Chain A
Amino acid sequence: MTQSILEIIQSCEWFPSHFLVISENVFSPLLYYSYFGAAIPALMVGFLIYLNNRKRLENKLLFLTIISFVLWIFGALVTWATEFPKYTMFFWTFINLIEPFVYFFAFYFSFVFFFKKDFSVLQKIIFSIPLLPIIIFASTKFSLIGYNLSNCDRNAYEGILASYGYALEIIYALSIIIIAIIAFRKIKDQISRREIILVTIGTSLFLLSFSLGNILEVFTENWYIGQYGLFGAPIFMAFLAFIIVRFKAFDIKLIGAKALVWSLVIIIGSEFFFVKTNINRILTAITLILSAGLGYMIIRSIKKEVALREKVEEANAGQKNLIHIMNHQIKGYLSIDKNIFAELLTDDYGKVPAEATEIIKRGLESSDNGQKYVSEILKGASAESGTLVYDMKLFDFGALVSGIVLKEKEVAEKKGLRFTSNVSNGNYNIVGDCSHLSEAMRNLMENSINYTPKGEISTNLKLKDSKIVFSIKDTGVGIKDEDRDKMFKAGGVSASSIKINTNSSGYGLAYVKGVVEAHKGRVWFESDGEDKGSVFFVELPVK
């Protein structure tokens, strides 16, 4: 460097940069530092994806795309921040070198992702040969002609190789769209087609916005534009998030723990830049090793926990499915039995002897009870899993409750129970499924009657804070504290109720809860304990 050049550089009075990337030289600090926001999470996500399955080609290629993108960002940050021409020249060359690789790896990833196969040897050669001039001539004048000192903008002058690189980038980006179209036409599966569309949109928008910023920057020589080139970065992050969630690129359940551990390790690691004494360095190193070790153990234990939970969930789902299928079959058989018994009683097949009539009636009753029992289980299970179909219409909930109360009062009084009801004046119109709500309310009332050996039952319907509140109070068996949690769960039968009703399916209250919650309402109960009665409440929003 000659004396005259040194004098020009000094006359520019550039600010010093720290850690290569922190400096007051940048034009738009907020936009500049937002690059970190794109780079750090991208790097973490890429690394986690790679670690999730190191052997999988898609993971490797996505990781390479992200790594080259992050390296590009780092190089760009240095060129924006540095006050040294040699740094500008080297990092500018480096970003010109790495930039086409971002596109190449993205193209390679897209190909493998779309066609579920690797490039053939010939394809590898054909698609990578255009990168050769970039690699060979990167450190020559063809890439950067020299450093511009005609103003104090701290920029280099690009050669023809840089323009070639931009052309190559556009070709790779367009190739992604072309192979996406080919794959889309070839693959008939709708889900795979949707995957192709989404991945293509994500990748193309990211790459094209990236190119556009860089190309406009160079050709207009407006360096501010280049800083906006990374507006594609959030798209890229969204694209990554999509890949993670949709394609389960890694176990999403572990991301919280992993992100926490990695952040901790990065923060402790960054301490090395600030500590001055050897003792502090040793302490930081020990802390870093301990944190990394403990973090590793935590992630491993969470991984085990997640795997165990998934196994249990899988087993539960299988069991639920089995119950559903079995109950449907049993319901079918019971229905046939019921029809046979009913047919026999009609005398269509000849006069049934008087001695046999009684047993046929018992058979009919038993089949009927069995069918109701199975239906209750099926409905309860469906309501709980949210698979019941509701026909929502406007109706008077007050009239519905009054009708059920009339019928159930009769049943209760036959059992020797006192039954009172109270309906406060008001508008009880709601939008809901009349049939399911009717059955849910009947379930609650029948429960009270069944589990109240003596005493009384009282129902109350009122409006409170623009909500309908129905309650049913009884002097029955009550609910023990230890049974509280299982009351509304499928198959949940309390210890006190089983003494009274051994045939309880345990699905009745699960059905009530499912139906009420599907109407944006809630159901709960209060009980002072065993043999102290209970009150069940249903709250529903008024129309």
Chain B
Amino acid sequence: MIENKQSNIFIIILLIAIVLSASFAYYRYMVKENFAYFITEDSIPDRFDINSYR
């Protein structure tokens, strides 16, 4: 049976990272509602164009 503390720590680190990342997203989108609306088709940026992220 494989069990060790190292894998537990590794899994806990991953889970903490997920929770932290999701918390940031929650704060940004749910609390602050900080995101862009695209009202027309033309205003939607190309995801592969780096300028879209400025």
Contacts and interface: CB of A to CB of B under 8 A. Distances in A.
Contact of A97 (B7, B25, B33, B41): B25
A119 B37 CA distance: 43
Contacts of B21: 97, 134-136, 138-139
B39 A150 contact: yes
Output the residue of B10, B25, B30, B33 with the most chain A CB within 10 A: B25
A145 B37 CA distance: 9
A5 B37 contact: yes
Interface string A117-132: 1110100100010010
Interface of A: 1, 4-5, 8, 53, 55-58, 60, 64, 85-87, 89-90, 93-94, 97-98, 101, 112, 116-119, 121, 124, 128, 131, 134-136, 138-139, 141-142, 144-150, 157-160, 162-163
A116 B29 CA distance: 42
B30 A87 contact: yes
A139 B38 contact: no
B42 to A, nearest CB: 8
Given A57-B7, A146-B36, 7 more contacts: A1-B33, A56-B2, A101-B18, A131-B14, A145-B38, A145-B45, A150-B38
Given A117-B2, A138-B25, A128 B14 contact: yes
Nearest to B26: A90
Contact of B29 (A57, A90, A117): A90
B43 to A, nearest CB: 8
A136 B17 CA distance: 9
A8 B11 contact: no
B17 A135 contact: yes
Contacts, number: 121
B37 A112 contact: no
B18 A135 contact: yes
A137 B37 CA distance: 19
Contacts of A53: 1
A131 B39 CA distance: 32
Nearest to B22: A94
28 contacts: A1-B37, A56-B2, A57-B2, A60-B7, A60-B11, A87-B30, A89-B35, A90-B26, A93-B25, A97-B25, A118-B4, A118-B6, A118-B7, A119-B10, A124-B10, A128-B10, A134-B21, A138-B22, A138-B25, A139-B25, A142-B53, A144-B35, A146-B35, A146-B38, A148-B44, A149-B39, A157-B38, A157-B47
Nearest to A88: B29
